[in-house]
Amino acid sequence: MPPLPNSDAPQPIRDVLDSIETQFQLTDERLRDITAHFVKMYQVGLQHGHEPMAMIPTFVTGVPDGTETGTFMAVDLGGTNFRVCEVQLEGNHKFSLKQKKFKVTDELKTGPAVDLFDYMAKCVGDFMKELGNPPAHECLHLGMTFSFPVEQTALGAGRLLTWTKGFSATGAIGNDVVQLLQDSLDKAEVQCKCVALVNDTVGTLLTRGYLTGGCFLGAIFGTGTNGAYVEDMSAVTKLKKIDPSIKNATKMIINTEWGAFDNARHVLPLTRWDNALDRISINPRYQAFEKLISGMYLGEIARNVLIYLIDLPPIPGSNPPRYYLFNGHSTKKFNVQYGFDTELLSRIKSDPSPAAVRGLFVEELGYVPYQVSDLDAQIVAWVCDLVATRSAALSACAVAATLIQCKYVQLGGEPGEREIDSSLELGVDGSLVEFYPGFEDTMRKSLRVIVGERAEKLLNVGMAKDGSGVGGNLYFDCFDWSY
């Protein structure tokens, strides 16, 4: 945990901050308990359908090695933007990418699903026109990265289980998202056939494998969070019917949907501020893990803590009245739900000096300079770091659970059944892991607690940029990579 602000703070303020710190603190024992429950939920999800940790079979039975070649189209829906890409795999672990981003408005996120998919089809058509439309007789194959929980039934088919990340478009849940897109493409007369469906974490894993020659886990730590890893087919006991094309495969990539870990709230360290966020979210009591660690929510958690400090009554006996933060003042901007973006946490971590924090609150949130004392600025930086530190530590639980499930190591650090003869590649993507200062270092610190120093040192964490685009195209050759 980050150190408390300076010791010159009055004792009542220090007492309140101590209380907040206790609620966010993760002891070594707590980290191991969370990880143990994580592994248990992995195994439950592999054995049974319709579990919160869905453990979705992807029907991808291998990882690329960097020799693949070809030119493909891909689309990616997963957050505030919709991407359309043309990817050229050049072999020798290299690729080139042409892409265009299109904004997804709140109206599209929450309106009828047909409007959302029609918009996506229009974006694909516009991008293809810019590239130069293919000959009339040619229909391009398209891979779709769809970063939401989907029950995948084949390489190019999957039923949406639920929306996350602020989406709630009506008429999509329970339907095949590939068919929804294809219907819109056909209606718009766009010459594309959607033939592959990929989750962004699977794309991250495949892309890191293409870049390095192998990868055991792909993880997203950004607006949302999720992981996909390589599992033994024998462990996926809920998969009763095996496609003949993969009947001889020994491995399959599993999309964990770990954002829904511990929706039942058995082990996660939920605070009053987490509960406040959850109650007024679009999906209360769902995506419990994601709401503690992903970029969509960290700023709001920090804002909830800071508003709590602002709203506390004055320190008893103080005259004139002394408040705990900002002299009891808030602003119109700061009062707005999600008005404190996680990107601001990164800026504060980069420069936590009182002058910088004061300047940020004045420029971005409408405060007047005299309302933000040096102590106020220190408290803000401390709260932001507290929230982000917990996020990175909990992220380590997910990574550690995967290492344990894959039998590379045991809880506590003893060697697992599967010998590690070289470094293990962990492909990552997302704004938190890429831009939040020290995120990986904090995650590694917790990994050492959970699985020991040896396993942590053998883990090579590398960005898999454009994984959702490149990985969507690597799906086309997936049946050629079987282990």
pLDDT tens digits along 374-431? 999 999 999 999 999 999 999 999 999 999 999 999 999 999 999 887 899 999 999 9
Catalytic residue among 76, 118, 147, 391: 147
Catalytic residue among 76, 118, 176, 200: 200
pLDDT tens digits along 182-237? 999 999 999 899 988 888 899 899 999 999 999 999 999 998 999 999 999 999 99
What pLDDT is attached to residue 164?
85
Is 470 in contact with 461 (CB distance < 8 Å)?
A: no
**Residue 200 known to be catalytic:** yes
- The stretch 90-117 carries a mean pLDDT of 93
**Residue 83 known to be catalytic:** yes
- The stretch 452-472 carries a mean pLDDT of 83
Categorize the per-residue pLDDT at 112 as very low, low, confident or very high, splitting at 50, 70 and 90: very high
Mean pLDDT, rounded, of the chain:
92
CB burial string 368-391: b at 16+ within 10 A, e below: eeebbeebbbbbbbbbbbbbbbbb
Residue 48 CB coordination number (10 Å): 11
pLDDT tens digits along 71-86? 888 999 977 889 999 8
Contacts of 242 (CB under 8 A, 6+ apart): none
Residue 305 CB coordination number (10 Å): 25
- Look at residues 74, 68, 101 and name the one whose alpha carbon lies nearest to residue 195: 74
User: Which secondary structure element, helix H or strand E, spans residue 82, and what is its range?
Assistant: strand 81-91
d(CA 57, CA 151): 8
pLDDT tens digits along 301-356? 999 999 999 999 999 999 999 999 999 999 999 999 999 999 999 999 999 999 99
d(CA 6, CA 357): 16
Is 408 in contact with 421 (CB distance < 8 Å)?
A: no
Contacts of 99 (CB under 8 A, 6+ apart): 83, 84, 85, 86, 466, 469
Is 75 in contact with 85 (CB distance < 8 Å)?
A: yes
Distance of CA 342 to the CA centre of its chain: 13
What pLDDT is attached to residue 468?
59
What pLDDT is attached to residue 194?
92
